[in-house]
Structure 1
Amino acid sequence: MPMKRRTFLTTTAAAGAAFAAFSLPLRAGSHAGGTIAIITPSHDNPFFKAEADGAQAKAEELGYKTIVLVHDDDPNKQSEQFDTVIAQGVIAIILDNAGADASVAAVQRAKDAGIPSFLIDREITATGVAVSQIVSNNYQGAQLGAEEFVIQMGESGPYAELLGKESDTNAGIRSQGYHDVIDQFADMKMVAQQTANWSQTEAFTVMESMLQANPDIKGVICGNDTMAMGAYAALEAAGRGDVIVAGFDGSNDVRDSILGGGIKATVLQPAYEQAQIAVEQAHKYLETGSTGLDEKQLMDCVLITEENAGQLDNFQLS
């Protein structure tokens, strides 16, 4: 039977019971004009820049000062940045972390210093340390992307997978979501699978090697858009622009490639909106001592193809 896209019903950021496990002696209105630290991976990746821009814009709109820092996915650098902003007396931290395990201690130090943290995009492996962990529903999004990939592949053929950074929980969740769909089709054959660490440059090199070893490859599914761009560039350079490539994030670069007939699909995770929601929750928490929501919150993803790519800009659909 031909593959049909499904509709997923999942938990959203609006759902959840009141969150009261993390409380500090706050006075309503006492933090007006304070400074919020925004710490993300490198802004060389437009996804992370969109996060930082969204958080900064919302914080300044609400009357806060901001410090914007980049940890480059280095847990040691991130740890030093936490020590710095704690010493500077920031009143809250918005964080896209540098490792699910490696970040717990830094977030705990901030909590011990009376500074609440609000996580976006990536979870940590502990609960009750951060106030909020707001992440895209990576499993749901990966299934959407995999369904479209199967359709584009005609439900058959050899394909490769580019994995994200192994220390990032999202990499494993997305791969699992992909395979829970693709592996149902006996004629879909994965002939290569390798990490490219979320990197466009590394994805280009990895794709070159994969193509040399598997010249008949028909498709490539990637853990993020940056790797999808690198993979597609390598395929084009080898005269194989016909290979079906799918990504994940919803970047403007991949949007443009889709509209130009290159990459076939991506999955939008709303980076800008997610960061703004985190700041809104920080504001509410600082004012009242509670966000009114569960610590862990999921935001659904949206499939992007040529049908709706023209509505996409800066990780938002118009």
Structure 2
Amino acid sequence: MKKVRFLFLALLMLFLVACGDEDSTDDSTSTSEDKKLALLMADLGNPFFHVLRDAVVEQAESLGYEVIIYDGQNDASKQPSQVEDALQKGVSAIVINPGDEDSTANALKEAIAQNIPVVTVDRKVNVDGILSYLVTDNTKGGVLSGEWLANKLPDGGNVIHIEGVMGTAPQRERGGGFLSVIDPAKNPESKFKILDTVVGDFSMAPAEAAMSDLLAKHDDIDAVFAQNDTMAVGVARAIETAGRDKDGIIIIGFDGAQEAYDLIKDGKMSVTAVQDFDFIGKEAVNFVDAYLKDGKKPESEVLVDVYMSDSK
């Protein structure tokens, strides 16, 4: 009888231990999945995007998330497979800086179908169900850049316009805002002339090459509006290489990157329209965190203010 009782107790203990282990495994899995956030960046070759990356990582880690970072390397075709990889790794939220507004749509539809919150930053994605689009007020930044130039050169002048990646929201909105002030075709009161418009893809080397060609073509350039600071750096390099740094060509950038402030300090650049990527990155994490914890939804589109600066 004692042997029977001992066997019964032994079996009961094994059963309880097994149940305890199973419960522990389930809790661990749930916690791990709830704490993974995917950050997909369009191009970490752009130094200013490091500000956004670092802000997301800092805020997410402070809230207990593991952050999985993907670099699109300015190649929009990479992001769809990166989204799929993130889903396979069991992320519970996605913050994405899209390389293209259309190519990632189908992959993100799958994330949304799984009730994974998606916040896009800097650029939109053409798909229903995005939790929020969090972005600098690019149109206002373009307008402010135009107004700054109009005040700097009240008698007008000849302007070069260097655009970013064509078709993206920053390219359209920054350019649209700037031209609404400077281009006589948009503003009959403008005294400026748009000498040339070229594409720099938001990258230094293409902008530098394009500016080199423009300097050979034009000897009467008064100002250049580059739609981001990385391209403005390329413009400044081209001007210096061509020996035109004494021409007094005004360079206007957009971002508020450290590289821009360094050039401004050295007198090689004039001003930049500042966007707050640190705030945007942290707020994007707060949006998905609040949704995961409480089901709280932010505004579908949040515009972050921008201002002009010639010093840091």
Q: For the superposition of Structure 1 and Structure 2, which TM-score range results when normalised by the shorter chain?
A: 0.7 to 0.9
155 and 108 in structure 1: CA distance in 2 versus 1, 3 angstrom threshold = farther
Q: Secondary structure at the match of 2:181?
A: helix
Q: What displacement does 1:31 show?
A: 5.5
Q: Which has the higher helix share?
A: 2
2:259 alignment partner in structure 1: 253
Q: Secondary structure at the match of 2:123?
A: coil
For residues 113-132 of structure 1, the aligned pairs below 5 Å read 113-126=114-127, 128-132=128-132
Give the distance between the partners of 2:69 and 2:165, measured in 1 at CA.
23
TM-score using structure 2 length: 0.85
2:242 alignment partner in structure 1: 238
1:262 and 2:268 matched:
yes
The aligned amino acid for 2:123 is R
Q: Secondary structure at the match of 1:239?
A: coil
Q: What displacement does 1:74 show?
A: 2.4
2:299 alignment partner in structure 1: 294
Q: What displacement does 1:98 show?
A: 1.3
1:281 and 2:287 matched:
yes
Moved more, 47-56 or 101-110: 101-110
2:57 alignment partner in structure 1: 56
**Residue of 201, 220, 234 corresponding to 2:224:** 220
Q: Secondary structure at the match of 2:296?
A: coil
Give the distance between the partners of 2:108 and 2:148, measured in 1 at CA.
38
* Cα distance per residue 1:89-131 (max 9 Å; x no partner): 00101110111122221211111123211111111233x3211
Structure 1, unaligned stretches of length 5 or more? 1-29, 311-318
2:196 alignment partner in structure 1: 192
1:67 and 2:68 matched:
yes
The answer to which structure, 1 or 2, has the higher relative contact order (CA under 8 A, 6+ apart) is 1
Q: Secondary structure at the match of 1:167?
A: coil
**Residue of 262, 266, 277 corresponding to 1:271:** 277
The aligned amino acid for 2:130 is A
The aligned amino acid for 1:175 is G
Q: Secondary structure at the match of 1:248?
A: strand
2:42 alignment partner in structure 1: 41
Kindly indicate whether the alpha-carbon contact (under 8 Å) linking 1:86 and 1:115 is maintained by their aligned counterparts in 2.
no
1:178 and 2:178 matched:
yes
**Higher Rg:** 2
Structure 2, unaligned stretches of length 5 or more? 1-29
Give the distance between the partners of 1:296 and 1:134, measured in 2 at CA.
6
Q: What displacement does 1:72 show?
A: 1.7
How high is the sequence identity, in percent, across the aligned residues? 28
The aligned amino acid for 2:305 is D
TM-score using structure 1 length: 0.83
1:144 alignment partner in structure 2: 144
For residues 197-212 of structure 1, the aligned pairs below 5 Å read 197-212=201-216
Q: Secondary structure at the match of 1:135?
A: strand
Q: Secondary structure at the match of 1:227?
A: helix
Give the distance between the partners of 1:205 and 1:159, measured in 2 at CA.
17
Q: Secondary structure at the match of 2:255?
A: coil
Q: What displacement does 1:61 show?
A: 0.2
For residues 159-170 of structure 1, the aligned pairs below 5 Å read 159-170=159-170
Kindly indicate whether the alpha-carbon contact (under 8 Å) linking 2:163 and 2:200 is maintained by their aligned counterparts in 1.
yes
Give the distance between the partners of 1:73 and 1:262, measured in 2 at CA.
27
Regions of 4+ moved over 6 Å: none
The aligned amino acid for 2:193 is K
Give the distance between the partners of 2:159 and 2:50, measured in 1 at CA.
31
* Cα distance per residue 1:111-159 (max 9 Å; x no partner): 1123211111111233x32111101100011111111122223441111
Give the distance between the partners of 1:103 and 1:146, measured in 2 at CA.
33
Q: Secondary structure at the match of 2:124?
A: coil
Give the distance between the partners of 1:31 and 1:174, measured in 2 at CA.
42
Kindly indicate whether the alpha-carbon contact (under 8 Å) linking 2:83 and 2:107 is maintained by their aligned counterparts in 1.
yes
Aligned length: 276
1:97 and 2:117 matched:
no
Aligned-CA RMSD value: 1.5
The aligned amino acid for 1:273 is F
The aligned amino acid for 1:201 is A
1:112 and 2:116 matched:
no
* Cα distance per residue 1:243-296 (max 9 Å; x no partner): 1110111100001111222211111111121010000111100001123x2211
Kindly indicate whether the alpha-carbon contact (under 8 Å) linking 1:107 and 1:129 is maintained by their aligned counterparts in 2.
no
* Cα distance per residue 1:188-212 (max 9 Å; x no partner): 1111101111111111110011111
2:6 alignment partner in structure 1: none
Kindly indicate whether the alpha-carbon contact (under 8 Å) linking 2:146 and 2:178 is maintained by their aligned counterparts in 1.
yes
